Amino acid sequence: MKTRIFPFMLTILLVISSGCEWILDSDDVDPIPITIVPYEEWRAYYENLPKDTVIIVDAAVKGHLLKLDVEYTGSCEEHRFEALAGKSYIETYPAGVDVFLGHGNGGDLCSNEVSKELAFDLRPLKEKYGPSSGFDFNSMRIFVAYDCTWVWFKYPRPHGNGPQESGFRHIGIYEF
């Protein structure tokens, strides 16, 4: 009897642990392409970016994806997310780029807390700044903008527990 239980329990543990890893590092999320905006058109794009409140719980660069775990209120209407980048690059080593997150709640008045994993495709950055573009960058630092009015980071707040101001959080390096 004991010899039957051990393989059964081992199988259950393997299924559970592999399932957890699959959920946390899920590649099932359809990536949303980042919009690269020409410098002279930046203001118009930024002003039209939807600015409904969203909280970034976790963020990472994985392969060609910027992955964000976000929270927001709603669940009665479809929510839309987008990301803008490209106003110009930042002279750091490696060069950096600011990414602005847009969240449109579609007029959703529901107050349920929603958690969602988002993935943004970073390959347009490679096309704009990569070795074949004339810039000759092999990688870029990815910064995500936060703002006290619509995008907040839940994990370590930049100024302790006080109110957040506007700024950029370094997320990781995208290797081309």
pTM: 0.76
> What percent of the chain is modeled with pLDDT above 70?
77
pLDDT at 97 over 70: yes
Contact assessment for residue 99 and residue 84, using Cβ atoms and an 8 Å cutoff: yes
pLDDT at 29: 75
Superfamily in which the 31-175 domain is placed by CATH: NigD-like, C-terminal beta sandwich domain (2.60.40.2370)
Task: Region of 86 please: left (phi>0), alpha (psi -120 to 50) or beta.
Answer: left
pLDDT at 22: 31
pLDDT at 17 over 60: no
